[in-house]
Amino acid sequence: MRRPVTPLARDALMIETPRLLLRPYMSEDLPLAIKTLTDPRVTRYVCDPMTPEAVEELMPLITRRGAGGRLGMWAAARKDTGEMIGDGVLTPLPVEEEDTDWTSLLPDRYPDHEIELGYMLLPDAWGKGFATEICMALLRFAFTQTGLPEVVAVTDPENTASQRVLVKSGLHPEGSRRAYAEDVPGFRITRDGWLDRTT
């Protein structure tokens, strides 16, 4: 989708759910990023745990936004306590590459890639339905605020909790596919499929 896009106002990038506030990930979120990406319980099905120094180096990339702000990473905070609990993403899906190509997030266009829905929560926040809340909110955002025809997701074959989150949020399992240079379970939802669920 190589057409130029207009920027979305910053307010429109704030996403409210019944229990959470999501806002674009910022350099100030370094402590959250370190907590998330250095914890082996969190990274178990995603990547090797990182060092705090490596996370700090990654910040300029993971705070990038594409398509007028519409694509990138959001930090999630509980509305009742203000506690930062993790993140949700709409980012370019790597297929034969091992990592997300953050540099393909450019302000004025959509990347050529499929767009991936993802999330990582700190362990204290697990088991409370927060991941599903983030997914449903990002799908609503994707299909009301972007021109994306569909959103995809992938998980580690053993990440059954994440697979359950995706199915609960309306994505359809599509069997094994290539992503992150591996064969992994793939999931997909089209704009029409999302509209059918919500109307």
Ligand X SMILES: CC(C)(COP(=O)(O)OP(=O)(O)OC[C@H]1O[C@@H](n2cnc3c(N)ncnc32)[C@H](O)[C@@H]1OP(=O)(O)O)[C@@H](O)C(=O)NCCC(=O)NCCS
The reply on whether position 167 binds ligand X by CB under 6 A is no
Please state the length of the chain.
199
Report the residue number, 104 or 159, with the smaller CB distance to ligand X: 159
- Spatial neighbors of 53 by CB under 8 A, at least 6 apart, are none
With contact defined as beta carbons under 8 Å apart, do 16 and 82 qualify?
Answer: no
The reply on whether position 144 binds ligand X by CB under 6 A is no
The reply on whether position 157 binds ligand X by CB under 6 A is no
Q: Tell me the residue nearest to ligand X as measured from the CB.
A: 131
* Closest separation in Å from C-beta 163 to ligand X: 8
The reply on whether position 104 binds ligand X by CB under 6 A is no
Pick one of 19, 45, 140, 184: the residue that binds ligand X (CB under 6 A).
Answer: 45
C-alpha 89: how far from chain center: 2
The reply on whether position 15 binds ligand X by CB under 6 A is no
Report the residue number, 23 or 78, with the smaller CB distance to ligand X: 78
The reply on whether position 131 binds ligand X by CB under 6 A is yes
SS3 151: strand
The H or E element containing residue 22 is: strand 20-24
The reply on whether position 190 binds ligand X by CB under 6 A is no
Pick one of 10, 79, 164, 172: the residue that binds ligand X (CB under 6 A).
Answer: 164
Please name which of 197, 179, 195 lies closest in space to residue 187, comparing C-alpha atoms.
179
Phi and psi torsions of 61, nearest 5°:
-80, -50
Q: Rounded to whole angstroms, how far apart are CA atoms 152 and 167?
A: 12
* Closest separation in Å from C-beta 136 to ligand X: 9
